[in-house]
């Protein structure tokens, strides 16, 4: 089983209660990932609070933003199907960035996104 941070009991007692779909996804990940994975629920990350972050040794981070409208599409997936989707995501990240490593691709795409958002904010005076 993966390491869940905070623990499931603590998640259930948070001031802002998790959605049912989030709990379902957390249980699914916890039951299907081995102990080399860490699953963070609603962590504070550089000014943002993603719903779920999955990390594995020697891999980059997978951030999962929960969307009520789309959850029904993944609730019956197997771990293999989720992992295949993640590998496809990683490959697309390399293709879009033109980089050879996931970490460099991630930094490149983040920088590009940040630049585009900053340009938009400057045009609209924030």
For the stretch 64-98, what's the b/e string if a residue is b when 16 or more beta carbons lie within 10 angstroms of its beta carbon? bebeeeeeeebeeeeeeebeeeeeeebeebeeebe
* pTM, 2 dp: 0.50
Residue found under tokens 């993944």: 74
Q: How confident is the model at residue 36 (pLDDT cuts 50, 70, 90)?
A: confident
The tens digit of pLDDT for each residue in 64-117 reads 454 444 544 555 667 777 788 888 888 888 888 888 887 788 788 888 888 888
Three-state secondary structure call for residue 36? coil
Q: Is the pLDDT of residue 61 over 90?
A: no
Q: How confident is the model at residue 50 (pLDDT cuts 50, 70, 90)?
A: confident
């Amino acid at each position: 089983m993966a390491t869940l941070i905070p623990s499931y009991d603590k998640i259930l007692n948070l001031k802002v209660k998790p959605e049912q779909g989030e709990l379902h996804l957390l249980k699914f990940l916890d039951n299907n990932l081995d102990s080399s994975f860490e699953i963070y629920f609603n962590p504070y990350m550089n000014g943002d609070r993603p719903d779920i972050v999955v990390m594995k040794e020697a891999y980059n981070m997978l951030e999962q933003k929960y969307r009520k409208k789309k959850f029904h599409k993944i609730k019956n997936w197997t771990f293999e199907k989720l992992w295949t989707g993640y590998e496809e995501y990683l490959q697309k990240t390399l293709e879009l960035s033109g980089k050879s490593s996931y970490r460099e691709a991630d930094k490149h795409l983040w920088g590009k996104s940040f630049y585009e958002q900053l340009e938009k904010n400057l045009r609209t005076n924030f």
